[in-house]
Chains A and B, each alone.
Chain A
């Protein structure tokens, strides 16, 4: 069995369950999430997500698991969403073909990437962002296990970028609505 493909399929099932758990379902939330996870795996939703987005990062999977576990407040707040969104805006166009430099290639022998993560982890530790530090730790452990060929794939993925874009966009829309209401 291809471990990376199996991981991608199962992770997408859980992520779909986490997305469903965001719906205002009240008491039925946990059961709906479980049902959605199972349905995603057997009804072709997870393979479709896997084919479209590729295997999700461990970062996204962990955020999905925290959502399923109903951990509040979510570590995925405005700041972190905005940071990931801006990073994605720079990363994806270049990694997907724009220009001569391919940042994704840095992830195959990621000496520089790992070195760059040290100060980031230091800041997370200093600011007592323990949840994010644990998420980063599990990302690195996933890479060290051999599940990911490229370190970027453990850290970040296009679906996570879309979720970040949604969180940022949602905030912007709410601000616009609030400013219009206050002007009336």
Chain B
């Protein structure tokens, strides 16, 4: 009930904070320590872009502008067919509209867009926030390598895919797969028709898929 202890506690807390080092980071003089995957600016790796327009279509506020044209590549072999490919003319992101949702980066099938932690691109004029292709490409230099995976994290999708055996191959030994990943059985591989019939499959057909290991359930 007495107000005294709380009052003294307030004084003690402030005094103790005053004696400790401060938390202030003097930003313009000291670079801030940004966490991994910081969303500063979107960088463009132009060589990867196929002008597929997926990013521009998915962008919620329509701040990506893409212009491209088709070029014909003459046939390399005699009597072959000419091929066409897209050439990127303009790729621009208007950062005065961008809301940094990152959907364009998620949706890009060719890894042409990347997050860069660089954030110091404020402009006096709003119109200067429209970054064209070359400026977006310039940000690529500041894109950090992806951070290391956590311990016990799941395998990255591309490595898992590379470790997977080719379809129908390497099943004879039971423990298949390239890269020597041990007894782990890839789930998506269609099992051989020959084998012990599944107990719940009934007598439908001998071609019914059955797992090579008894523990593995059917998809």
A and B: real partners?
Answer: no
Chain B interfacial positions (CB closer than 8 Å to A) = none
Chain A interfacial positions (CB closer than 8 Å to B) = none
